Structures are given as C-alpha cells and as structure tokens.
Homo-oligomer: A and B are copies of this chain.
Amino acid sequence: MIFSSDNWAGATDAVMAALARHTSGFAPAYGVDPLSRSIEAKFNEVFEREVAVFLVSTGTAANSLALANYAKPGGVVFCHKEAHIVVDECGAPEFTTGGNKLFGLPGDAGKFTPQALETALKGYPEGVVHHGQPSAVSITQATEVGTLYTPDEIAAISTVAKSRDLPLHMDGARFANALVSLDISPAEMTWKQGVDVLSFGATKNGCWCAEAVVFFNPQDGAGFEFLRKRSAQLFSKSRFISAQFEGYFENDSWLESARHANAMALRLAEGLSAAPGVDLPVTPQANEVFPVIPRAKAAVLQDAGAKFYEWPTDDLPADRMMIRLVTSFATTPAMVDDFVSRF
C-alpha cells in the first residue's frame, strides 16, 4: 500500500531492458553518441515538429535550467503559489537564474487563471526598474494536486504571456499522466497552445532519472548547452539517460505506464468516494487522489503499512486531515483494493 509518491517506484522493465542493452561497448561521451542523437530525433517525432532537446537527470534541473535560459536581471517568473518550483526545489530556480523571483499566483485546484496572471503583470509595468521585469510564466501539467489545464486554458494563459513577450514554460513532471487523461497529442498539449519550453518528465513514470528540456522554438535553446554544463547536468556517459528514453518511448510504454497509473488513481477515487467518512474535494484527473479522511483512520492505515503523506490544508476540523495518494506504473489493483477495504 505504497501511495507516498510515484517516485517510490523503481524503473519499468522496458527502461531497464534498454539500459542493459547499452551497457557494454564504447560510445562517444557528453551527449554526442548515436543513441542520444536518435533520442533527439524521437522527440521531434513525438512532438510533430523540430524541437531542441536537452537531456538532464532531475526535474529540478529541468525546471531550473529552462527558467535560467530566459532569466533577466531582476527577472520575475509567474507561476501558481503551490508550484513545485516555488515550494519544493530548495531555491534551485532562484539560484540557477541568478536570483530571479518566483511570483506565486493564487488559484483553485492548483491552477491559476489568465486573469490572475494579467492582474499580477500589471504590478510590473514596462521599464519600472524598481520592481524588476517579468521573465517567464510557468504552469504545471498535471498540477501539484493532480488537476489539469485544458488546451484552451493553456492557450489563454499563453496569450497573456505573449502580450508581454514572455515565454510560457510547462513543468511536465507528470506530463504523460496529463496527456493520456486529456487524450490529446503531445503537440496539442504544448506548442499548439503556445507553450515555448517544456520540462518533459519521465522519472516519475518509470525511468530512473530521465528528464528533458524541450524548446519548441529550437533557436531559444541556442546557448543552453553551456547552461546545462555549468549546472553539472551534462553527463559523460550520456547514453545511460538516452537509453532510458529509448525504453520509455518503445512500444509507447510511457503511455501505457501513465494509463495504468491513472486507472489506479481512478480505482482509488471510486473506492474512497463510496467509503464512510471520506470526502474527495478535488476530482482526480491524473495519478493523484486527495481524500479528506478521519485522522484516526490515517493512523490505523499507517500501522497497517500504508504509506502516504498528509497534505496541509486550511479549514479542516482537528479530527480530519487531507492526505495525498499517488499511483504509478507499479501500483497494483490489489494494493488499491486493500487500502480501500480498510475504511
């Protein structure tokens, strides 16, 4: 009953098999091996256009470097106030951008609106040096609370960003979960709605450590290789990341993993919504479920070996708590059913 996070799982068989396949033999170091080149081509195919893609090893690296690519002196990045880049990356974006500020926008269910962005941008009129200058807008898909921006919502945010010549960044740590849930193409969820740069996450969905920074306007990434190297994210044996992507994309195993994880979340949600004493204030759209349960029940579950985290939230009675349940490719129906049966 492991629901702590999707990163408590290991790697999928497809990913490990690919890695094993490339273990022996020699290959040029530092990202110019044939396998890495083929993975770059694969990204073009996945996104139905020529992209500039740079492999890195953690989501924090992908996000920080993507934002650093557009950093300005006194720069300000606009994102949701609960975004991972604000709350969970120990200031890596601020450090990597040379001190750009993250402006946390309010918004229900982990999402901010184009209106909220527009209002915040008004506080940063052109050329007022005291306030600094907007440098980027960032959305998270799926969000920290497992919700999704629709393509139209993304496009509307992009329109506001573009009105100030700002790039739109998408933190796609759970990109695949969002994609299969919306049932649209990678292109439709990104550049067709005006996303400029994507942190394409693969780790949570079955890789060991494989993330990619994808620039939809390849020239945007012209100097990125220096940024990546300077942040110690250019790997000598780079094929070990490329191999993970090979396995990830092979036979659409990434979509299959995400579909499974989402299905497990749905199974959880359905089970819990019928359980006594449980509320589900946020409808799960990807692989996370946020039930409100009796605090006493949480202790019982943990004693039984269930793993999950409390999700701090306001305005609950002292005897109730919101918890976060995350599913992954490795979650089994039995695990879900066992958990639900204990309510």
A→B interface (CB under 8 Å)? 2, 4-5, 7-11, 13, 16, 19-20, 22-30, 56-61, 64, 68, 72-76, 87-92, 94-102, 123, 129-133, 203-204, 208-209, 223, 225-237, 239-240, 307, 312, 330
Contacts and interface: CB of A to CB of B under 8 A. Distances in A.
16 contacts: A7-B30, A10-B22, A13-B23, A26-B307, A57-B209, A72-B223, A73-B95, A73-B229, A74-B229, A87-B131, A90-B131, A90-B229, A92-B231, A94-B99, A99-B230, A208-B240
A29 B5 contact: yes
Given A10-B22, A237-B11, A226 B27 contact: no
Contacts of A13: 23
A236 B150 CA distance: 28
Given A8-B27, A10-B24, A10-B240, 14 more contacts: A10-B23, A10-B27, A11-B23, A58-B234, A58-B236, A59-B236, A60-B229, A76-B91, A87-B131, A88-B131, A90-B229, A92-B229, A95-B230, A129-B226
Contacts of A203: 236-237
A239 B10 contact: yes
A116 to B, nearest CB: 14
A1 B60 CA distance: 38
Given A74-B229, A94-B100, A102-B101, A20 B20 contact: yes
B232 A231 contact: yes
A57 to B, nearest CB: 6
Given A98-B98, A209-B235, A240-B208, A226 B90 contact: yes
